[in-house]
Structure 1
């Protein structure tokens, strides 16, 4: 199993290009099931998650071809016919978002059998909202032995869908299914994250009629078929925010390019409040910190445009060496402070009570062996390692490879002393 080793103390100076958004790319890949013509996605990240979904789509009948195109990394997906409507557990369990193939399969071919993700039951991070949306669209849903059987032999029908709570995944899933439904679908209490607008833009380029994505109400007028298209994946706001925090942590000056700083205003405002320099540019943002110690600030995670839960672990790492005490409230996911004990192994002073963590800044962190517990936690440990005295070694980085492309290369190009230690092999997720 690979590990990453970081020798702390080096400031960061240079340019980091931001990759395409993982959370958007995987839903756009699923959209290829909706048409028999090729879908060309540009600005595509090369990640473990996109590879996993590519394997699943190939099983369903999609030809997946990665290459370097005239405008960078691209993936061309072509499903002239759906050869299988069966998504087995051994593939779906590797990535929760792969469950979103269910709606497109039913919309195009009238039936599907898809494993519940990760063997999950209808409970924590439930898929019940996904299934309720499909049932509202006329699909007959049966759950049996860990699988969802969905049928709509006469096609899906437009409907009013009102989510009791905001869910990004369920909103995206409803959109993917409703574009081929007969009639008009209105989604109420929809998630407003920018990845929803990116999915809307791609679907509309394919001939769909979707409006309102990015607002709480999305209206979809179903069409008989979709065509092929070319679409550029939106820049990854979580990767952008992660490197912004890394620059503020290590000090120096880093220019983030191919980025949209407006997507992380909540984070950038907190970085400025803490004392970091933030300068928007024509194609991104510059983050500066020259020597002085940052001030502690409080954050509370919230749906977009609030402070992203996927940046909470990174910001906690930043606060470990800030002056004073910061309070971090997590309101999106339960049990998302698993990185706190690992940061404490580096000398951080953190106490957790329920959905709130208190971080009392220390003068210095000390390098140690730590373990990644999830995707965002893994990179928070790398960020902390940038300033820890001595060497920090992060294990179980297969989590990190799911969502960060060429991390060692990007940080190393700015002067970070970071290297990958190859292991004997990596487990499946």
Structure 2
């Protein structure tokens, strides 16, 4: 477990890892491309390591250049077999569903367990199945999982309208179009940085892509190529936002490097609204919270799937920060309806007074004085929010459930330590 105590304001410079949420679909995109892909800035968190293992179980060769452990060379699957360990590993992470198109490309059929990952409410796969059905595929579901069999639709292009801006379904449609080698028109797409990263990677591979709030279009290259391509995982926007909130919570001055400013724009806007000066440069954030005065402006942190909306993964860190800020603040996350039931009871153990107005909405009035005690990382973002809360709680806060935190962050406590946090790993 991790022990953390309040200390001096955080200061210094840290660099974020590559984004877990971007690396997972990029690895799946490498698998469907059927040509060598070199992917750099690959993070070492547990979920990404599980995805690399899944690719190997599915027959792909994964190598790392000498002296570059964060670079992975992904070679096409041998198409011979799927290792028995595949299903056990696939059940550990939610992003295993990204591999369905790659399995269809090689085997014509994908048999998958229901995805694992954070337990933050029902996040069904109905939109994924509708995407595959639009390509003529057949899906079957049972208590243990689902299967998808490649169809033989003869249409030259595919059009799909999503009922809401699902990131998973948007990426599923893009990757399925790559496997089919057919043009795609996707209505009401998700345009998060993670989806845009996949589109930019495919552009490098010769695909023509266009996307706006109304429609995303994808056109295959005129001729197939076997030439290797080189991609890079963008910096982790959620880790950057978490570190920025930690610096702000302690009224420190710090710099967070390795993240594109446009990816964290909604988080930057929220911090500025709370009166935290943040300078967003092209690939870094400068947080200057020392000596700032409270604005008493209520924050409305509403998670949204719309373009330029607040990513739901930012909300827990902002909630932990807002506990120390003047005003009555509103938080809502209807995207992950079980997240508040994970986060709020753990913050309450520290003495936080948070009123739930519905299963997906809550409000709190700050500033509040938290008292250190034992808490549990019940999911990735709850764990990172509790680290922020522990920086200001009186006494010692101990955080268990590190296996959840490490699924998304290889070394977040180490980054906080580099900024001057009084934090260490202890044996229970």
Asked if TM exceeds 0.5, the reply is yes
Q: Secondary structure at the match of 1:82?
A: coil
Asked whether the equivalents of residues 135 and 151 of structure 2 are also in contact (C-alpha less than 8 Å), the reply is: no
Does the C-alpha gap of structure 1 residues 214 and 67 become closer, same or farther in structure 2, counting only changes over 3 Å?
Answer: farther
Which among 384, 388, 401 is matched to residue 383 of structure 1? 388
Matched residues in 2 for 1:217 and 1:146: separation?
34
Secondary structure, aligned partner of 2:191: coil
How do residues 125-204 of structure 1 correspond to structure 2 at under 5 angstroms?
125-144=123-142, 146-152=144-150, 154=152, 158-204=157-203
SS at match of 2:180: coil
Match of 2:78 in 1: 81
Q: Distance in 2 between the 1:175 and 1:142 partners?
A: 21
Secondary structure, counterpart of 2:105 in structure 1? helix
Alpha carbons of structure 1 residues 372 and 277: separation in structure 2 relative to 1, 3 Å: same
CA 1:67–1:398 in structure 2 vs 1: closer, same or farther (change >3 Å)? farther
* Counterpart Cα distance in 2 of 1:73 and 1:334: 34
- Following the alignment from structure 1 to structure 2, what is the Cα–Cα distance between the partners of residues 262 and 143? 39
Asked if 1:309 is matched to 2:312, the reply is: yes
Query: Aligned-pair distance for 1:310?
Result: 0.4
Q: Distance in 2 between matches of 1:273 and 1:36?
A: 46
1:426 is aligned to none
Tell me which residue corresponds to 2:326.
323
Q: What's the offset of the Cα at 1:357? A: 0.9
Residue 420 (structure 1) aligns with: 425
Pair 1:290–1:6, CA change in 2 (3 A): same
**1:230 is matched with which residue?**
230
Could you say which residue in structure 1 is the equivalent of 2:301? 299
Match of 1:51 in 2: 49
Deviation at 1:85, TM superposition (A): 5.3
Preserved CA contact (<8 Å) 2:112 2:146: yes
**1:57 aligned counterpart, secondary structure:** helix
Matched, 1:341 2:354: no
Q: 1:275 deviation in Å?
A: 1.4
Q: Which moved more, 1:288-297 or 1:374-383?
A: 288-297
Distance in 1 (CA, whole Å) between partners of 2:375 and 2:176 is 42
Aligned to 2:240: 240
Q: How many residues align?
A: 417
Q: Which range moves more in the overlay, 316-325 or 221-230?
A: 221-230
Aligned-partner SS, 1:180 = helix
- Residue 378 of structure 2 corresponds to 373
RMSD: 2.4
Partner of 1:277: 277
Match of 2:62 in 1: 64
After TM superposition, the structure 1 = structure 2 runs for residues 243-254 of structure 1, keeping only pairs within 5 Å, are 243-254=243-254
CA shift in 2, pair 1:156/1:286, >3 Å: farther
Counterparts of 1:145 and 1:311, CA distance in 2:
33
Q: Determine if contact 1:193/1:214 at 8 Å carries over to the other structure.
A: no
Select between 125-134 and 104-113 the one with higher mean Cα deviation: 104-113
1:30-59 alpha-carbon deviations (Å, 9 max, x no partner): 122224432111111111001111111111
Partner residue, 1:101: 99
Deviation for aligned residue 1:89: 3.7
Q: Deviations over 1:113-140 (max 9, x none)?
A: 22222399xx921111111111111212
Q: What's the CA shift for 1:154?
A: 4.7
Alignment CA distance shift 1:270-1:247 (3 Å)? same
Which blocks of at least 5 consecutive residues in structure 1 are unaligned? Answer: 424-429
TM-score by length of 2: 0.91
2:354 counterpart of 1:350? yes
Deviations 1:345-382 (A, max 9, x none): 11212111212211121342211111111110110000
Task: Please tell me whether the aligned partners of residues 101 and 179 of structure 2 are also in contact (alpha carbons under 8 angstroms).
Answer: no
Counterparts of 1:356 and 1:50, CA distance in 2: 31
The two structures have a TM-score, normalised by structure 1, of 0.90
Assess, with a 3 A threshold, how the Cα gap between structure 1 residues 417 and 334 changes in structure 2: closer, same or farther: same
Runs (5+) with no aligned partner, structure 2: none
Q: Secondary structure at the match of 1:27?
A: helix
Deviation at 1:25, TM superposition (A): 0.3
